[in-house]
Amino acid sequence: MTDHAPEQLRTGNGGETHQVADDDHPVLTTNHGTPISDNQNQLKAGARGPVLLEDEVYREKINHFDHERIPERIVHARGSAAHGYFECTDSLADITVADLFQKKGQRTEVFTRFSTVAGGAGSIDTPRDVRGFAVKFYTREGNWDLVGNNIPVFFIQDAIKFPDLIHAAKMEADRGYPQAATAHDTFWDFISLMPESTHMIMWAMSDRTLPRTFANMEGFGVHTFRLINKEGKSTFVKFHWKPKAGLASTIWDETVKIAGADPDFQRRDLFERIERGDYPEWELGVQLFDEEFANSQPYDVLDATKIIPEEVLPVRIVGKMVLDRYPDNYFAETEQAAFVPSHVVPGIGFSNDPLLQGRLFSYTDTQLSRLGSVNFHQLPINSAKGRAEAAGCPFMNQQRDGHMQMAVSKGRANYEPNSLANVGEPGGAREDSHGGYKTFPSEEQGQKLRVRPESFADHYSQARLFFRSMDPAEQAHIASALVFELSKVSLEHIRTAMMANLRNVDETLARRVADGLAMDLPKASKTAAPVLDMDPSPALRIIRGPREKHTLEGRTVGILIADGTDADALKTLKDAVKKAGGRAMTISPKVGAVPLSDGSTVKADAQLFGQPSVTVDACAVILSGEATAKLTKEGAAVQWVMDAFGHLKAIGANDEAKPLLGKAGVEPDAGVTDLADFVEAAKKRYWDREPSVRTLA
């Protein structure tokens, strides 16, 4: 086989690009030898209709993919989770019959799992990667799994491409690396040939994929769902999780060093927050709209590569989630938790989003492979908890036996209907025609086709919207991330193809990437639809955006101390940090008793070599003159301060410690303060410092 050439590519109805068989490329077939005419789209009833179960090409492909790994998850393997509750704060009784949204103040137990996507279970917490954000609601009408990400869009429009995406993103098949990283040929080859991925790539290369902690992430349901009220009226909905702690990310250099200092950084942070009672909290918001609104937008709400900007349709806050209990057993709970998007409750339904429709099948299939049994719902972490049925059983039906059956069903009635109750025997459960789950009766018609609607064809307008909505610092980070990733791509034609696509997003961005790679800028790639200049959305920003929160609540201040540190200054600073809602962590060259200026001693919380400044949110230095003289000769201490400055953190110091700051190259700015002004300064990062400490693309 030879490398693909431009003339071997064709564009489908939605603008997707893929190869056509010719003399150098054998015909793509099913495992049973049937030639495949379209490997880009599921079979649908009409261009915007639901996908069809008879699609053997999709089912064979996704079946095989779902069963590729045992027992680790193929994706989202690296996960951390916690128990908590959801509380309704604004009733949606007029919009949906879903029980958990009926009454203000009503609480529902939840289990929430955060994860990376590409890495294995033993990979690090902090790669540049999308984060899974999955919530299991144990409602009084059964379990609802809202299975989303920390990014509101996805790489692909149709689920039939998911195996291809993940195969390309995972470590390369021949060499087994890189692990938990997309900076390699196969990923960017796939992305360069899939223009529909461009919007997601803007998010993936942004600071969104470098969250500081789980508590600083947004979460999204990604797809358009339905809410259905008691009259049977349907309202479209998109789900949003808004972090109480505010959005915060790391800087790439900081992230790399965190990975080396603490591969479990985010998992540890989640555990420690809960242990000290600083419970992570999110607000649940909804964007509600009807068919008329959907049809009036310049994009298709069934397209998972698109958002509805919050400035166009505000997010209505309807509840909050608090995580207040860490799992007792990682395997039994976090690892065995099975999240399935098709698990919904009365009042919640689905749209015809082809990515969502594919997930409704795929996730159950995956759990059957991973957990080994149709009875995975009987594992305690997956079992419905909200129902109060006979004998304490949370589920009632005639399904029996199977591998790992744990329920002991009584009586002869393992079928329905039956009349055994008439003779005094258990007759089993019956359907509930009034309160049972009802699918919204949407009208669907159309030819059986493998096609995407023309409304899915615009792949660049929202990518442009995202990039142009960013703060200049975030735009620089995106350009720098693209340069880093593409510099790891060994095949020049892939880099060229990506830059051709980037020209359709923003000319300045494409030029910055080309300059960073020292390559000529190619012609822009052809587009399947006009590229629109949409109004910027400030809500998409982290830096200087509406959800960048200047606070010490839930954050950690590292205080470097040593023999002879001023006791009063230390106590005053620790008290001030605590009053501001932060956590003060003392760090010393030695973790034993540290003698202070008044003759007392204090046990340091951490040792200098094991607690680099990347692991804290702001840094203070309180040293005696003698200790400063010693530490200016200690590389770890100099690096501790140097990294804090380079990572744009606030730095406070007493007069005696300032020679250490000078040795570390710290220059005066608004974030470098005396101890008296430090706590207020510590509430934010200093993005204006960045151009003076690093050169970005």
DSSP state of 22: B
CATH number of the structural domain 459-540? 1.20.1370.20
- pLDDT digit string, tens, across residues 321-354: 999 999 999 999 999 999 999 999 999 999 999 9
The position carrying tokens 């307008």 is: 461
Q: How far is CA 589 from the centre of its chain?
A: 37
**What average pLDDT does the segment 293-298 reach?**
97
Written as six digits, the tokens of 421 are 């109750």
What's the Cα-to-Cα distance from 559 to each of 356, 588, 601, 623, rounded to whole Å? 48, 8, 15, 10
d(CA 345, CA 135): 14
CA 401 centroid distance within chain = 37
Query: Pairing between strand 618-621 and 651-653?
Result: parallel
Identify residue 68 by its one-letter amino acid code. E
Mean pLDDT of the 561-582 span? 98
Phi/psi for 516 (5° steps) reads -65, -25
Tokens of 205: 């290369």
User: Among this protein's residues, is 76 annotated catalytic?
Assistant: yes
pLDDT at 292 over 80: yes
Tokens (6 digits) for 233: 């009226």
Check whether the bond before 417 is cis (ω within 30° of 0): yes
User: Considering just the CA atoms, what is the radius of gyration of the chain in Å?
Assistant: 27
DSSP E strands in 100-246: the ranges are 107-116, 131-139, 142-149, 219-220, 225-228, 234-243
Assign 606 to helix, strand or coil. Answer: strand
Q: Chain-centre distance of CA 214, in angstroms? A: 9
| CA dist., res. 376 & res. 383, Å (int) | 8
Burial of 266 (0-12, 13-18, 19+ CB in 10 A): buried
- The active-site residue out of 13, 41, 76, 83 is 76
pLDDT at residue 368 is higher than 60: yes
Q: Which of 283, 287, 285 is nearest to 237 (CA)?
A: 287
pLDDT tens column, 19-58: 455 667 888 887 778 788 898 999 999 999 999 988 988 9
Task: Give the pLDDT score at 485.
Answer: 98
Helices (H), 470-566: 472-487, 492-502, 507-517
Q: Which CATH superfamily is domain 64-390 in?
A: Catalase core domain (2.40.180.10)
**Could you read off the pLDDT of 432-484 as tens digits, one per residue?**
888 888 889 998 889 989 999 999 999 999 999 999 999 999 999 999 999 99
Higher pLDDT, 134 or 420: 134
Can 64-390 and 556-693 be said to share one CATH topology? no
Q: Answer yes or no: CATH 3.40.50.1370 is held by domain 556-693.
A: no
Checking if the pLDDT of 12 tops 50, the result is no
Instruction: Of 167, 189, 165, give the one whose Cα is nearest residue 488.
Output: 189
The residue among 203, 75, 76, 204 whose CA lies nearest residue 128 is 204
Residue of 13, 41, 143, 149 marked active site: 149
Residue 90: the pLDDT is: 98
Domain boundaries, the chain: 64-390, 459-540, 556-693
Q: Residue 64 catalytic?
A: no
Q: Tell me the pLDDT band of 8, cut-offs 50, 70 and 90.
A: very low
Q: Which residues contact 278 (CB under 8 A, 6 or more apart)?
A: 553, 554, 583
pLDDT of residue 595: 97
